[in-house]
Amino acid sequence: MEDIVVEENDDELTVFQEADDEEMVEVCPVCGSPDLYYEAGGTEGLFHCKYCGYIGGFVIDANKKMIQLIRDEYENKLRVSE
């Protein structure tokens, strides 16, 4: 694992470029799958995960490393209760 030290007051341009390289996508908080669809209905919309069946009101903005971590976690313990 690689530690990236971000110093905010050092070089903002470098930070921005690194952030740009790590594309953030909305993923399922349970399994890390980006394969979500949003169902607007009733009083509030819910996210549905096609992969694990998660249904809930929030998703996670994650980059590739975070997605990998979530997936590893999910695969390690296939029962995750909301």
Which residues here bind Zn ion, judged by CB under 5 A?
Answer: 28, 30-31, 33, 49, 51-52, 54
CB 33 → Zn ion: shortest distance, Å?
A: 5
| d(C-alpha 53, C-alpha 57), whole Å | 13
CB 53 → Zn ion: shortest distance, Å?
A: 7
Cβ-based nearer residue to Zn ion, 48 or 63: 48
Q: If 0-12 CB within 10 Å is exposed, 13-18 middle and 19+ buried, where does residue 28 land?
A: buried
Q: Which single residue is written with the structure tokens 């399994």?
A: 31
CB 22 → Zn ion: shortest distance, Å?
A: 21
